[in-house]
Amino acid sequence: MTNPGPDGWHGPLPDIEIPDVSLYDLLFAGLTSADAAKPAVVDHASGVTLTLGEVKCQTDAFAAWLSASGIGAGDAVGVLLPNGPDYLAAFHGIARAGAATSPVNATYTAPEIARQLTATKAPKIVTHPALLAQAVAGAIQAGLAASDVIVVGDPDAPRAAGHTAWSDVLATEPNPPTVDIDPATHIACLPFSSGTSGMPKPVMLSHRNLVANMLQFNEVLRPLGDDVSLVAFLPYSHIYAMTTNLNYALYRRCPQYTMAGFDPMAFLTIIATYRPAVLFVVPPVAAFLAKHPAVGQADLSSLKLIVCGAAPLDGPVGEALQERLGVRVVQGYGMTELSPVTHVIPLDRRDIDLGTIGPAVPNVRFRVVDPETGTDVAVPASGEVSQPGELWCAGPNAMLGYLGIPKDADAVLDADGWVHTGDLVTVDADGVVRMVDRIKELIKRRGMQIAPAELEALLCLHPAVADAAVLGVDLKGTAGDQVPHALVQLRPGAEASASELTAWVADRVAPHKRLGGVHFVEKVPRSAAGKILRRQLPVLLPAK
């Protein structure tokens, strides 16, 4: 085996055939009556359980309702729901109708919701009673009518307010018209990502992208056997949970135990009660499981695998977790633009450092490219690692592009199909990759994206602010968890306090994007072309 091959580096597992089918056909078309009776989703807090057959029936009913409402190919529908049983049919009903889900983070404020609905031109939104106020405000800002807001749960209150009740939608005859779906070009989902720079934008993921990534990832999990039951606490609105939890558990006919948010003690209770086999976590949750005293008292004996991704896992934390729980822990890497998973440590490769992201999953090719010269870094000798370079990935899981942004205007997906990740990595002679740094603008908080450009634009709307730059500051005692700080240049003669500007941002964004500090500077450093000189920002922070 030569690695890298002519088309880049590859992983240890052989490539697989990706079936040319829609998501619905892969997950539901061949559902046997035995499988239909299996639990698909269990929500501990509400006690609601849906079988696979019930999820399919709801999916069909929602697809039929959407089709009858004139929604289909080329349309998007907003989904603003916490994790819970209704999410499954909402997502798949939209895809079956030929439309795309525009998944909105459940903690978003009305302006954030409106921006997302507007960018994806979504004519409808599905939401939850607990999120109704911000959903309606966002929908109205985006030009939707009250009846375009579909509300799950008790039907009476939404009906009285002129909204559409989910239970009325689900009463539709579950026989939607057949929609011709070309898996390679038909968009199933439009999650938002800021890519390597600028504002968050809708990422066009096709049916093939989502089908492929689930199957690519499945190859890595194959040694686990039949049980991949899992706790779905990471938000479905993020591609990490959408692919590896929502869709993957359905594909494998295993139950997913939903949590509307991460509550550590409820999380431990759910694991002890339902005995799932797998957890998909982000580094702060890995650290909680590795260190918190309560974990020592909990029964976590059902667990067989913990996959950690979305931000850097500290190798020793991974080791400590593996040791403490006696559970295999692996690190994975992904990016929304790649549907998302490209690298995971193989389950049987105990020799690979948990601080790496492992080799590529099947069908992914990757390159490590010197950002200065644009050439691939030299292949290292056995036992050594390469020079750092930017990770480029290609495969059937690579996005179609950003919605509404011309292909040649986007620096992320190139004409040869490589996604330029904006992450700096090294690779060893076996194709095992280690993250070194992020060279894109992105800040990550608990695995969730924060685009500096979004907060900078908000700050510049404040009357006292002349210019602003936002950078990520590592949170103490965490490996790689960051909080955004702002460097603010005030207008001459204008006054504003740090707390006023912090509140200005907090009033307008989801909690994870709130500023951890505001520091006043004489001038925000910009190039002659007006670009923020981001490398100069850290030295402008006050000494700790």
User: Which of 213, 336, 386, 489 touches ligand AYL (CB under 6 A)?
Assistant: 336
Task: Pick the stretch among 39-47, 236-244, 365-373, 469-477 that binds ligand AYL (CB under 6 A).
Answer: 236-244
Report in angstroms how near the CB of residue 194 gets to ligand AYL at its nearest: 9
Task: Pick the stretch among 173-181, 336-344, 364-372, 463-471 that binds ligand AYL (CB under 6 A).
Answer: 336-344
H helices within 409-461, ranges in order? 452-460
For residues 41 and 52, give the distance between their C-alpha atoms in angstroms, rounded to a whole number: 8
List 433's β-bridge partners, or say none.
358, 427
Of 116 and 244, nearer to ligand AYL (C-beta) is 244
Task: Confirm or reject binding of residue 305 to ligand AYL (CB under 6 A).
Answer: no
Q: For residues 457, 462, 464 and 470, what is the CA-based torsion angle, rounded to 10 degrees? A: -30
Residue 185, phi then psi, degrees to nearest 5: -120, -15
Task: Confirm or reject binding of residue 345 to ligand AYL (CB under 6 A).
Answer: no
Of 309 and 359, nearer to ligand AYL (C-beta) is 309
Angle (deg, nearest 10), helices 85-96 and 52-68: 50
Task: Confirm or reject binding of residue 284 to ligand AYL (CB under 6 A).
Answer: no
User: Which of 58, 109, 193, 339 touches ligand AYL (CB under 6 A)?
Assistant: 193
Task: Confirm or reject binding of residue 240 to ligand AYL (CB under 6 A).
Answer: yes
Of 176 and 452, nearer to ligand AYL (C-beta) is 452
Residue 226, phi then psi, degrees to nearest 5: -80, -25
List 483's β-bridge partners, or say none.
473
Show the binding pattern over residues 449-468: x = contacts ligand AYL (CB under 6 A), - = does not.
Answer: x-------------------
Of 59 and 116, nearer to ligand AYL (C-beta) is 116
Of 340 and 484, nearer to ligand AYL (C-beta) is 340
CB burial class (10 A; 0-12, 13-18, 19+) of residue 522?
Answer: exposed
For residues 174 and 13, give the distance between their C-alpha atoms in angstroms, rounded to a whole number: 40
Of residues 138, 166, 139, the one with CA closest to residue 151 = 166
Tokens representing residue 166 in the block: 């989910």
For residues 365 and 342, give the distance between their C-alpha atoms in angstroms, rounded to a whole number: 9
Inter-CA distances, 329 with 22, 34, 308, 412, 418, Å: 32, 32, 8, 31, 29
Show the binding pattern over residues 112-151: x = contacts ligand AYL (CB under 6 A), - = does not.
Answer: ----------------------------------------
Task: Pick the stretch among 101-109, 238-246, 377-385, 536-544 that binds ligand AYL (CB under 6 A).
Answer: 238-246
User: Which of 334, 346, 388, 431 touches ligand AYL (CB under 6 A)?
Assistant: 334
> What is the number of the residue whose Cβ is closest to ligand AYL?
309
Task: Confirm or reject binding of residue 309 to ligand AYL (CB under 6 A).
Answer: yes
Inter-CA distances, 35 with 119, 217, 224, Å: 38, 22, 20
For residues 126 and 161, give the distance between their C-alpha atoms in angstroms, rounded to a whole number: 15
Report in angstroms how near the CB of residue 243 gets to ligand AYL at its nearest: 7
Show the binding pattern over residues 401-430: x = contacts ligand AYL (CB under 6 A), - = does not.
Answer: --------------------x-x-------
Q: Which residues, 355 to 384, sit near ligand AYL by CB under 6 A?
A: 357
User: Which of 44, 208, 367, 438 touches ligand AYL (CB under 6 A)?
Assistant: 438
Max CA separation in the chain (angstroms):
73
User: At residue 43, what is the residue type?
Assistant: D
User: Which of 24, 333, 392, 402 touches ligand AYL (CB under 6 A)?
Assistant: 333
Of 331 and 489, nearer to ligand AYL (C-beta) is 331
Task: Confirm or reject binding of residue 246 to ligand AYL (CB under 6 A).
Answer: no
Report in angstroms how near the CB of residue 245 gets to ligand AYL at its nearest: 10
Of 164 and 196, nearer to ligand AYL (C-beta) is 196
For residues 72 and 63, give the distance between their C-alpha atoms in angstroms, rounded to a whole number: 9
Task: Confirm or reject binding of residue 209 to ligand AYL (CB under 6 A).
Answer: no
Of residues 512, 451, 506, 516, the one with CA closest to residue 235 = 512
- In order, the DSSP letters of 207-221 are HHHHHHHHHHHHHHH
Of 9 and 504, nearer to ligand AYL (C-beta) is 9
Task: Please say whether the beta carbons of 480 and 311 come within 8 A.
Answer: yes
User: Which of 39, 123, 200, 340 touches ligand AYL (CB under 6 A)?
Assistant: 340
Positions that interact with ligand AYL (CB under 6 A): 193, 239-240, 244, 307, 309-312, 331-336, 340-341, 344, 357, 421, 423, 435, 438, 442, 444, 449
